[in-house]
Amino acid sequence: MKNVLVVTYSQSGQLNSIIDNVLKALTGKVNIHREYLKPKPEFSFPWKDIRFWDAMPECVEMVPSKLETLDFDISIDYDLIILGYPIWFLSPPIPLTTFLKSPQAKKAMNGKPVVTIIGSRNMWVGAQEDVKGMVMENGAQLVGNISLHDRHHNLPSVVTIIYWMTTGKKDRLWGIFPKPGISDKDIEEADRFGPPILNSLQNNSFEGLQDNLLKLKSVEIVPSVLSIERKGKKIFKIWSKFIRKKGEPGNPARKARLKMFKWYLLFVIFIVSPIVTFFFYLTYPLFFSKINKQLVYYKGVKPKN
């Protein structure tokens, strides 16, 4: 039987539900080894206000932290590695970065095909570029990507994700906002991605896997959201360096700069981004071909030349 290593990190369990559904088609047909990453200490969920913002600089700078001992058998020659992760501050979450930068990951991943499965609000492409880089550094090859996101409009989804992340409640805020996160329907229907993955495993060829996944709508990108995210990622890098000058996570000296970042981000999301989106669509025809090229690139799994 083939061996598949599935490494995931999920706080609420949303990402794990997606993974469970994708794995349905593989269950009983291959050996599935699951590694649930456990940060040491755990990031509390629901999040406490300042701790939430305090995670930003190390996510963006991809500074590894600590994990509980990894359980998976490093001596197995895995046929496929599946990495499942949410997005934190347009970046990979710290536990995944920590895993990908560990010697165990390097050993297990070297020369192996990798499929990534992402469960985010709606801004994930920059984080996936970071993950692509770490996957390559470990000598592995990205062969497939599935990215599910909250389909609601960008602004209400910011309100609902903050509500969910800071209260732990995945219900409709005041009965008027949509339910936070990825829809139950999208989570359930993630089982459609399992058969092409199983097929590639059984045929010993991952050539064309991403095209097969894309036919099943494994990745959908809203152009205006992509445009905002690309700008945001550059600005986050400036903020993360600025905050890290005041010390490591938990250092009270960072607090003032974290608060500045928080208010800056909320201002940009609710005031600036609607204006930017308006101009984005106004000038869309002028940049049509450039934007189309970006969409094709981010839907694929090839690294940047």
Ligand X SMILES: Cc1cc2nc3c(=O)[nH]c(=O)nc-3n(C[C@H](O)[C@H](O)[C@H](O)COP(=O)(O)O)c2cc1C
The residue ranges that bind ligand X (CB under 6 A) are 10-12, 14-15, 52, 55, 86-90, 119-124, 161, 165, 181
**Residue nearest ligand X by beta-carbon distance:** 12
Pick the closer one to ligand X by CB: 56 or 209: 56
Distance CA 141, CA 144 (A): 9
Give the residue with the Cβ less far from ligand X, 115 or 127.
127
For the CB of residue 302, give the shortest distance to ligand X in the complex, in Å. Answer: 22
Residue 122 or 227: the one with the smaller Cβ distance to ligand X is 122
Burial, 93: exposed, middle or buried (Cβ in 10 Å; 0-12, 13-18, 19+)? buried
CB of 188 to ligand X, least distance (A): 15
- The vertex-129 CA angle with 39 and 27, nearest 5°, equals 60
Residue with tokens 């990908």: 100
As measured in angstroms, the least distance from the Cβ of 181 to ligand X is 6
Which residues make beta-bridge pairs with 149? Answer: 120
Our CB check for ligand X shows the closer of 28 and 250 to be 250
Which is nearer to ligand X, 228 or 301 (by Cβ)?
Answer: 228
Minimal distance in Å, beta carbon 297 to ligand X? 19
Q: How many CB atoms lie within 10 A of CB 187?
A: 18
Q: What is the DSSP letter of 79?
A: S
At closest approach, how far in Å is the CB of 159 from ligand X?
A: 13
CB 177 → ligand X: shortest distance, Å?
16
How many other C-beta atoms lie within 10 A of the C-beta of residue 282?
Answer: 9
* 3-state secondary structure at position 237: helix
Please give the sequence-ordered ranges of beta strands (E in DSSP) within the chain, or none if there are none: 3-8, 31-36, 80-85, 113-120, 141-149
**Distance in Å, CB of 75 to ligand X, minimum:** 30
Closest CA to 124 of 287, 298, 300: 298
Query: Which residue's CB is nearer to ligand X, number 200 or number 224?
Result: 224
Dihedral sign of CA atoms 60, 62, 68, 70 in order = positive
Amino acid (one-letter) located at 149: H
Query: Under 8 Å CB-to-CB from 2, ≥6 apart: which residues?
Result: 30, 31, 79, 80, 201, 202
Q: Which is nearer to ligand X, 112 or 132 (CB)?
A: 132
